Amino acid sequence: MKMKRYMTFLLTAGIFVLSSALLYSFHYLIFRDAHHIWIYLLGDIAFLPVEVFLVVIVIERVIESRAKREKMEKLNIVVGAFFSEVGTRLLGDLLKSFKSEEEIRRHLDVSVDWSPSDFKEAFKYARTIGGETDCARIDLNILRSFLVQKRPFLLSLLENPSLLEHDRFTDLLWAIFHLDEELEARPSVVNLPQTDLAHIAGDIRRAYTQLAAEWIRYAEHLKSDYPFLFSLVSRTHPLQSNPSPLVSG
């Protein structure tokens, strides 16, 4: 197959070179002016590097940048649907399992006056959230029921071709799926041994680290491109002390 494509490339190149030679020969037969032909030939060759730069580098990058923006817009729609259906609730429910809950709130409490540097620092913190996680602080039965209920929706997200361009978000979905499978695999999540609770706590911590980081990225995108949506998110997200949709002050 590679040899066939290589031969096709050589044949195509040969046809173009031969066509050019025939046209130049036709020009010489009519006008009998080789000097004119060489002047324009050398001029065209001299301009070729500039032409390659403009077409291959400048124009191609502009087209690639535009295509990337369009893909990111489609992806952000998917991410927005995820947080509306699943992510925002998990952001609040799983947070309760952290003993450093108040510290996490302080770092990730997005507000309308945040600057790009605030989002950058919050993202760095979200990627390294540590601290002890205690499953006794949350209701694992409610968490399991919620994840099972939302599984068809999460599976539909994985089928979206836009996710091929976003490894971080795909990793987040897999982390949530793993937590879902761990909880459902147990006949009961009541009175589990401490070793098993520690294992589940690790799964929660892994999922939450990715969830928080992706949420910060999404909130920054809303603040930049959709301030009216960000206004609602900043009033209702579960990382603040008293979330409320009401506009006050």
Contact 133, 204 (CB under 8 A): yes
Alpha-carbon gap, residue 196 to 200, rounded angstroms: 6
pTM across the whole model: 0.74
* 249 band by pLDDT with thresholds 50, 70 and 90: low
Tens of pLDDT, residues 43-95 = 677 767 777 777 777 777 777 777 677 777 778 888 999 999 999 999 999 99
Q: At how many degrees (to 10) do helices 34-52 and 2-31 cross?
A: 140
How far separated are the first and last CA of the chain, in Å rounded? 69
- The domain locations on the chain are 1-32, 73-236
